[in-house]
C-alpha cells in the first residue's frame, strides 16, 4: 500500500515539477522531494548504492577480499587507496632517509640501526601492507607461506626473532628492536594513546639503541613524537599526511605518506552521485562531468575485478611538505559545484568506524564535507561515529535505511560486512 501511494505521489510530483530534468535510474526523484523520502521509498534498500570505504570488506586473517560484500548489488563499490603502493613508498622513504643520514643516524655507534614499529591493527589490510613495506625496504622481512610476515615481534633486543631478520642498509645493520599492535585495553585499534605509552616502555628497554621510529599511521606516530622522539631527535615516520604530522616535519618528524584523502572522499561520494544520477560510473572520474570535474590516472586506479577504486599515494618529506600543510584543502580538479537542478540533493547515510581516529576525523571527514557540498549530497554532517571496538556501535544506528538514498559504510572490522547487508536485505 505504502509503495503504491508513494509511486502515485511521486508521479504527481514529477508532473508538477515537469520543468525539472530527468534524474536517472534511481527512482526518478526530483528536486525538493528528497527531504520527504519519496525517492528512496521507490527503491528497495538492497538495491540502493552501497559504498564501502576506508576498510575493505575482507577476511581479517587471510586478507582475502569479501567478494559477496563487494558485489552485494550492482551498485556496490569499495573506495580506498592502493595499500601496497603506499606501503612500498613508506618503506622506501624510510630507507632513503637512513641512507642520506648514515653518518649520524647510529646513536650509540654499535653499527646497528635500531627501529621500533607501531602496528595499527593486525587484521587490517592497510596495516599489514605497511608493516610489510617497511620490513621489505629495510631488509628485515622474513617470508611465511610466500608472503612477508607481518606479525608483531614484541621484543627483539638481540636479533633472535623468527618473524624478522637483521637487514643491511648503507653498510649498517638494521634491526627491528620491537613492534606491537597498538590496541587499547577496551579493544580500539590504531590507538594513539597506547602508542604513546608503549614508547615509554620501549625507551626504558632499549635506551639509545633506538634510532628510528616507524608507525603504520600518523596518529600513533605523532603520539610517539610528542611523547618522546621530538625531544630525543629521533626521526619518526607515519602515514596519512594529517596536517599536524606534516607541520611536524619542520620539527624533525621524518615523513609521512599522503593517501590522497581528497581523492578518496571525492570518489566515495562521486560513485554514489553517479549511481543516483543513473550515469556512467566514471563520470567526473575518468571523463569530465558537466561542471568540469575530472581526475587523472596519477590520482587513482580502478580495479573492476575488486569493484574497487584506489587513490594513489605520495611521499611527504622535508623536500615537499610545504605543499601538504593543509590536509583538508579541496583539490582543484574536482572542486566545481554541480548544478542543483540537474543533480538534485540526495540524502545518504554514512559512518566512521571510530569517532576518535585521527586520520578519519581530522583529514577524511573534512574532505567528505567538502565534496558533499559540491556534489549536492546531504547527510554527511550527520555522520554516525562508532567506538572503534564493537560493530554494533555503528550498525545499531542504521535503524531507518528507507529514509536514505544510499549508504557509505566504514566498518569496524573488515569481516563484518554482512552485519550491514543483512539490515539492507530486511
Ligand atoms: C588510515 C589509518 C586509519 C585506518 C582506519 C587507514 O587507512 O591510514 O590512519 O586509522 O585507516 O581504518
Ligand atoms: Ca645503534
Checking if the pLDDT of 274 tops 70, the result is yes
Instruction: Using the mean position of ligand 2's atoms as its centre, give its distance from the Cα of residue 177 in Å.
Output: 11
Instruction: Using the mean position of ligand 2's atoms as its centre, give its distance from the Cα of residue 149 in Å.
Output: 24
Checking if the pLDDT of 245 tops 50, the result is yes
Cα separation of 257 and 265, whole Å?
Answer: 17
Ligand 1 pocket test: pick from 55, 82, 120, 394 the residue with the most ligand atoms within 8 Å of its Cβ: 120
Q: Which pairing describes strands 406-409 and 50-53: parallel, antiparallel, or unpaired?
A: parallel
Ligand 1 pocket test: pick from 259, 360, 367, 415 the residue with the most ligand atoms within 8 Å of its Cβ: 360
Checking if the pLDDT of 396 tops 70, the result is yes
pLDDT at residue number 5: 38
> For residue 218, which atom of ligand 1 is closest to its CA?
9
Provide, rounded to the nearest whole percent, the portion of the chain with pLDDT above 70: 90
pLDDT at residue number 213: 98
Q: Which of 425, 426, 388 is nearest to 410 (CA)?
A: 388
Cα separation of 348 and 337, whole Å?
Answer: 18
Give the confidence band of 61 by pLDDT, cuts at 50, 70, 90.
confident
Instruction: Using the mean position of ligand 1's atoms as its centre, give its distance from the Cα of residue 1 in Å.
Output: 45
CA distances from 61 to 128, 148, 415 (A): 10, 14, 9
The neighbouring-strand residues paired with 308 are: 78, 303
Q: What is the pLDDT of residues 175-212, one digit of tens each?
A: 999 999 999 999 999 999 999 999 999 999 999 999 99
pLDDT at residue number 219: 98
Instruction: Give the helix ranges, DSSP H, for 17-162.
Output: 38-41, 67-70, 83-100, 125-138
Checking if the pLDDT of 228 tops 80, the result is yes
> For residue 124, which atom of ligand 1 is closest to its CA?
12
Instruction: Using the mean position of ligand 1's atoms as its centre, give its distance from the Cα of residue 40 in Å.
Output: 31
Instruction: Using the mean position of ligand 2's atoms as its centre, give its distance from the Cα of residue 171 in Å.
Output: 13
pLDDT at residue number 38: 44
Residue spans of beta strands (DSSP E) within 216-368? 236-237, 256-258, 300-303, 308-311, 314-316, 346-352
pLDDT at residue number 25: 43
pLDDT at residue number 63: 86
Residue spans of beta strands (DSSP E) within 293-365? 300-303, 308-311, 314-316, 346-352
Checking if the pLDDT of 40 tops 70, the result is no
60-64, 102-106, 367-371: segment of lowest average pLDDT: 60-64
Other beta carbons less than 10 A from residue 62's beta carbon: 9
Ligand 1 pocket test: pick from 83, 86, 126 the residue with the most ligand atoms within 8 Å of its Cβ: 126
Checking if the pLDDT of 400 tops 50, the result is yes
Instruction: Using the mean position of ligand 2's atoms as its centre, give its distance from the Cα of residue 101 in Å.
Output: 13
pLDDT at residue number 182: 98
350 within 8 A of 384, measured Cβ to Cβ = yes
Residue spans of beta strands (DSSP E) within 362-405? 377-378, 384-385
Closest ligand to Cα 113 = 2
Q: Name the segment(s) of the chain with CATH classification 3.40.50.2300.
A: 102-234
Checking if the pLDDT of 2 tops 60, the result is no
* Domain 102-234 CATH superfamily: Response regulator (3.40.50.2300)
* Average pLDDT score, the chain: 92
> For residue 127, which atom of ligand 1 is closest to its CA?
6
Q: What is the pLDDT of residues 4-31, one digit of tens each?
A: 434 444 444 443 333 333 344 444 343 3
Closest ligand to Cα 360 = 1
Stretch 377-403: mean pLDDT, rounded? 97
Cell 560493530 belongs to 391
Ligand 1 contacts (CB < 6 A) are 54-55, 120, 126, 190, 217, 219, 239-240, 353, 357, 359
Instruction: Using the mean position of ligand 1's atoms as its centre, give its distance from the Cα of residue 308 in Å.
Output: 17
Nearest protein CA to atom 3 of ligand 1, as residue? 359
pLDDT at residue number 73: 98
Instruction: Using the mean position of ligand 1's atoms as its centre, give its distance from the Cα of residue 80 in Å.
Output: 10
Provide, rounded to the nearest whole percent, the portion of the chain with pLDDT above 90: 89
> For residue 357, which atom of ligand 1 is closest to its CA?
10
Closest ligand to Cα 102 = 2
Query: Cβ-count burial of 292 within 10 angstroms (0-12 exposed, 13-18 middle, 19+ buried)?
Result: exposed
> For residue 189, which atom of ligand 1 is closest to its CA?
10
Query: Cβ-count burial of 89 within 10 angstroms (0-12 exposed, 13-18 middle, 19+ buried)?
Result: buried
Give the confidence band of 42 by pLDDT, cuts at 50, 70, 90.
confident
pLDDT at residue number 109: 97
Cα separation of 246 and 325, whole Å?
Answer: 6
Q: What is the pLDDT of residues 318-367, one digit of tens each?
A: 999 999 999 999 999 999 999 999 999 999 999 999 999 999 999 999 99
Amino acid at each position: 500500500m505504502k509503495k503504491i501511494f508513494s509511486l502515485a505521489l511521486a508521479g504527481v510530483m514529477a508532473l508538477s515539477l515537469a520543468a525539472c530534468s530527468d534524474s536517472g535510474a534511481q527512482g526518478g526523484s526530483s528536486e525538493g522531494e528528497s527531504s520527504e523520502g519519496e525517492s528512496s521509498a521507490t527503491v528497495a534498500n538492497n538495491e540502493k548504492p552501497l559504498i564501502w570505504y576506508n576498510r575493505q570488506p575482507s577476511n581479517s586473517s587471510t586478507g582475502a577480499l569479501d567478494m559477496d560484500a563487494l558485489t552485494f548489488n550492482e551498485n556496490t563499490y569499495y573506495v580506498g587507496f592502493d595499500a601496497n603502493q603506499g606501503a612500498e613508498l613508506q618503506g622506501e622513504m624510510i630507507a632513503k632517509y637512513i641512507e642520506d643520514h648514515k653518518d649520524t643516524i647510529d646513536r650509540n655507534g654499535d653499527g646497528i640501526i635500531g627501529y621500533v614499529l607501531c602496528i595499527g591493527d593486525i587484521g587490517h589490510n592497510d596495516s599489514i601492507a605497511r608493516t610489510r613495506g617497511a620490513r621489505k625496504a629495510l631488509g628485515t622481512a622474513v617470508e611465511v607461506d610466500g608472503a612477508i610476515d607481518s606479525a608483531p615481534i614484541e621484543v627483539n633486543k638481540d636479533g633472535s626473532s623468527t618473524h624478522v631478520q637483521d637487514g643491511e642498509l648503507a653498510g649498517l645493520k638494521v634491526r627491528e628492536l620491537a613492534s606491537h599492535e597498538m590496541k587499547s585495553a577496551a579493544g580500539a585499534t590504531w590507538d594513539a594513546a597506547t602508542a604513546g605509552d608503549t614508547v615509554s616502555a620501549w625507551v626504558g628497554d632499549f635506551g639509545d639503541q633506538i634510532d628510528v621510529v616507524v608507525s603504520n599511521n600518523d596518529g600513533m606516530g605523532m603520539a610517539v613524537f610528542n611523547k618522546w622522539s621530538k625531544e630525543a631527535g629521533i626521526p619518526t615516520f607515519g602515514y596519512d599526511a594529517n596536517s599536524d604530522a606534516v607541520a611536524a616535519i619542520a620539527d624533525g618528524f621524518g615523513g609521512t605518506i599522503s593517501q590522497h584523502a581528497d581523492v578518496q572522499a571525492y570518489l566515495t561520494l562521486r560513485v554514489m552521485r553517479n549511481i543516483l544520477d543513473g550515469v556512467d560510473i566514471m563520470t567526473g572520474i575518468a571523463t569530465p562531468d558537466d561542471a568540469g570535474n575530472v581526475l587523472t590516472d596519477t590520482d587513482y586506479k580502478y580495479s573492476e575485478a575488486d569493484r574497487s577504486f584506489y587513490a594513489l599515494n605520495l611521499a611527504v618529506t622535508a623536500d615537499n611538505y610545504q605543499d601538504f600543510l593543509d590536509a583538508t584543502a579541496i583539490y582543484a580538479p574536482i572542486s566545481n559545484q554541480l548544478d542543483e537542478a540537474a543533480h538534485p540533493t540526495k540524502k545518504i547515510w554514512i559512518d566512521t568506524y571510530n569517532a576518535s581516529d585521527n586520520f578519519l576525523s581530522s583529514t577524511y571527514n573534512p574532505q567528505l564535507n567538502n565534496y558533499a557540498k559540491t556534489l549536492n549530497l546531504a547527510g554527511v554532517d550527520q555522520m554516525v561515529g562508532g567506538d572503534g571496538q564493537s560493530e554494533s556501535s555503528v550498525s545499531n544506528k542504521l535503524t531507518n535505511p528507507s529514509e536514505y538514498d544510499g549508504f557509505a559504510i566504514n566498518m569496524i572490522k573488515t569481516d563484518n560486512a554482512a552485519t550491514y547487508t543483512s539490515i539492507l536485505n530486511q
